[in-house]
Amino acid sequence: MNKPKVLITRQLLPEALDQVSEFADMEVWPDTYPPSPEELRTLLKDKHGVLTTIMDRIDASAMDSAPNLKVVSQLGVGVDHIDVDEATKRRILVGNTPGVLAKATADIAFALLMSAARRVSEGDHWVHDKQWELAFHPLHWLGVDVHSTTLGIVGLGETGLEMVKRAQGFDMKVIYYSRTRKPDLEAKYSIEFVDFKDLLQTADFVSLHVAYTPETHFLIGEPEFKLMKPTSILVNAARGPVVDPKALYDALNQNIIYAAGLDVTYPEPISPDDPLLDLKNVVITPHMGSSAISTRRNTMYMAVENMAAGLEGRKLVACVNPSLYQDLGI
Ligand code: NAP
């Protein structure tokens, strides 16, 4: 019997590809850069499944070229690059990978928080630039404390919750704002729900963990920065366009806030001419929140399993449009 055909849009770990070969004939895009939209359309023509990364835009036009497509399996949690409504109309299942990468993402978010507060990255650059001439001065390299401060989490999903746990190890008070209030988590972790404006005004650290949607586009802009404390630090490990980049630059440059730690930017990659790169009070990592080896391996296994399930007419481990199950008789 012929195996279904799948496209894997980037090289994966060999052990993950071995798993795919057990149930599908696969084509693996060999380049480091993603296929162009036109190349993607051509590659999808005869495919029943596609395993994507955030750089592969799966919109109506991509789906038009893929009449056999049954499943889109995203390597990651965020699916803002996939037109899920359009996929649902076409009875295409969309899978993603919650549950395996939130801890790693929170590790990076917390590392950024600490680095921005205690000037770790700035100090490291300075030492590497061979500028360390005076061993110690009581007034040099002063940052702001992390312990015993207030962390404000915006978007209490999986990563936000992992931030709560990390913050509690640092004796931080945690307040949160999310689309839906979570009384069970409030009781379990002694955290407090506040409205968005209160959070911005009160928190020493504002850490963003919302999904990127039309409602969260530029959630943090000039008015929001103006509400934040001048000593506060913004952390964004969600998606770049949750923050207005011009307002972010002004807030950091004019010391409206103290610093920022970013794992995501808008656009990505950040332009080499972006003025943000000239500021010392911002730490930027290149969207590497979930890039830890065992996390990435588990994420690949989950995306492969989602793909297999979608092709074989089983429920996915995690499905973004489960309303389709009934339609598909799963
Ligand atoms: P998640 O468990 O799906 O949580 C997302 C949260 O966003 C949900 O809890 C939801 O709130 C909240 N939310 C959505 N719209 C909102 C709105 N309009 N206002 C307030 N809250 C809103 O996802 P996650 O694993 O925590 O990841 C969060 C996001 O981070 C992902 O969507 C992805 O874009 C990004 N991410 C980045 C990396 C990286 O490498 N930097 C890695 C993983 C994920 P409710 O639950 O209250 O409805």
Q: Which of 209, 287, 296, 305 is catalytic?
A: 287
Classify each residue of 67-98 as buried b or exposed e, where b means 16 or more C-beta atoms within 10 Å of its C-beta.
Answer: eebbbbbbbbbebbbbbbebbbebebbbbbbe
pLDDT at residue 1 in the model: 77
179 lines ligand 1 (CB under 6 A): yes
Amino acid at 293: I
The protein residue with its alpha carbon nearest to ligand 1, atom 8, reads 157
239 catalytic residue (yes or no): yes
Residue 220 CB less than 6 A away from ligand 1: no
Is 224 near ligand 1, meaning CB less than 6 Å away? Answer: no
Cα of 77 from ligand 1 centre, angstroms: 8
User: Among this protein's residues, is 287 annotated catalytic?
Assistant: yes
Residue 7 near residue 29, CB atoms below 8 Å: yes
Q: Which amino acid is at 5?
A: K
CB 237 less than 6 A from any atom of ligand 1? yes
d(CA 272, CA 202): 34
Q: What CA–CA distance (Å, rounded) separates 255 from 240? A: 21
Alpha carbon 42 to its chain's center = 29
Which ligand 1 atom is the nearest neighbour of the CA of 180?
47
Atom of ligand 1 nearest to the CA of 80: 34
In DSSP terms, 174 is beta-bridged to: 151
Three-state SS string across the chain, please? CCCCEEEECCCCCHHHHHHHHHHCEEEECCCCCCCCHHHHHHHHCCCCEEEECCCCCECHHHHHCCCCCCEEEECCCCCCCECHHHHHHCCCEEECCCCCCHHHHHHHHHHHHHHHHHCHHHHHHHHHCCCCCCCCCCCCCCCCCCCCCEEEEECCCHHHHHHHHHHHCCCCEEEEECCCCCHHHHHHHCCEECCHHHHHHHCCEEEECCCCCHHHCCCECHHHHHHCCCCCEEEECCCHHHECHHHHHHHHHCCCCCEEEECCCCCCCCCCCCHHHHCCCEEECCCCCCCCHHHHHHHHHHHHHHHHHHHHCCCCCCECCCCHHHHHCC
pLDDT recorded at residue 122: 98
Q: Does the beta carbon of 133 lie inside 6 Å of ligand 1?
A: no
What's the CA-to-centroid distance between 229 and ligand 1, angstroms?
24
Ligand 1 atom nearest residue 160's Cα: 26
Whether 211 lines ligand 1, by a CB cut-off of 6 Å, is yes
Contact 163, 151 (CB under 8 A): yes
Round to whole Å and give the CA distance between 155 and 96.
18
97 and 75 in contact (C-beta within 8 Å)? yes
Q: Which of 239, 305, 312, 314 is catalytic?
A: 239
The one-digit pLDDT tens for each residue of the chain (330 residues) are: 799 999 999 999 999 999 999 999 999 999 999 999 999 999 999 999 999 999 999 999 999 999 999 999 999 999 999 999 999 999 999 999 999 999 999 999 999 999 999 999 999 999 999 999 999 999 999 999 999 999 999 999 999 999 999 999 999 999 999 999 999 999 999 999 999 999 999 999 999 999 999 999 999 999 999 999 999 999 999 999 999 999 999 999 999 999 999 999 999 999 999 999 999 999 999 999 999 999 999 999 999 999 999 999 999 999 999 999 999 999
Instruction: Say whether 215 is catalytic.
Output: no
